[in-house]
């Protein structure tokens, strides 16, 4: 698997649309937002085909990882963990010292294995329960 910072936003958006809009019924107008214009987008490919994406929002020493999506046929293969490790590496390379994310509650264990700790209450984001998480870099 290859994971790179990309300007191919269309490929990232296609993955996000498939995962969030089609599979999870997130309204399309909520899935895309103004932050996409300034975000760092990561694209994971397998044999040249896009299979995953994440976006990074950087504000000084803090980075937020979001819109983490892996196509269904690649889940459970380690692709998501590889994408997250690449995201953390990219944040470190940009001088970020704390990574944050809003995790869907069913994925808390996945992020905990990557060193994230949950904090605060469960909240609704686009009809899906989430919880904030963070970790030092």
In order of their start, the domains of the chain are 2-136 (3.40.630.30)
In degrees and rounded to multiples of 5, residue 115 shows phi and psi of 95, 5
Residue 14: beta bridge partners? none
Over residues 95-137, the pLDDT tens digits come to 999 999 999 999 999 999 999 999 999 999 999 999 999 999 9
Q: Cβ atoms within 10 A of the Cβ of 29, count? A: 9
pLDDT mean across residues, the chain: 97
pLDDT at 85: 98
Considering the chain, what percentage of its residues have pLDDT values greater than 90?
99
Please list the alpha-helical segments (H only) found in the chain: 9-16, 28-31, 79-93, 108-113
Look at the pTM and tell me if it is higher than 0.85. Answer: yes
In sequence order, the 6+-apart residues with CB closer than 8 A to the CB of 106 are: none
Q: What does the alpha-carbon distance between residue 135 and residue 137 come to, in Å, rounded to a whole number?
A: 7
């Amino acid at each position: 698997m290859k994971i790179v910072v990309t300007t191919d936003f269309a490929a990232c958006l296609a993955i996000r649309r498939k995962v969030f809009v089609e599979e999870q019924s997130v309204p399309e107008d909520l899935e895309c937002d103004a932050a996409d214009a300034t975000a760092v987008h990561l694209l994971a490919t397998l044999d040249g085909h896009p299979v995953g994406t994440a976006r990074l929002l950087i504000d000084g020493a803090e980075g937020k990882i979001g819109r983490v999506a892996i196509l269904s046929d690649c889940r459970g293969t380690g692709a998501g963990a590889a994408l997250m490790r690449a995201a953390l590496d990219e944040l470190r390379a940009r001088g970020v010292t704390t990574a944050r994310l809003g995790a869907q509650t069913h994925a808390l264990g996945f992020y905990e294995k990557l060193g994230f700790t949950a904090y605060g209450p469960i909240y609704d984001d686009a009809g899906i329960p989430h919880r904030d998480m963070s970790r030092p870099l």
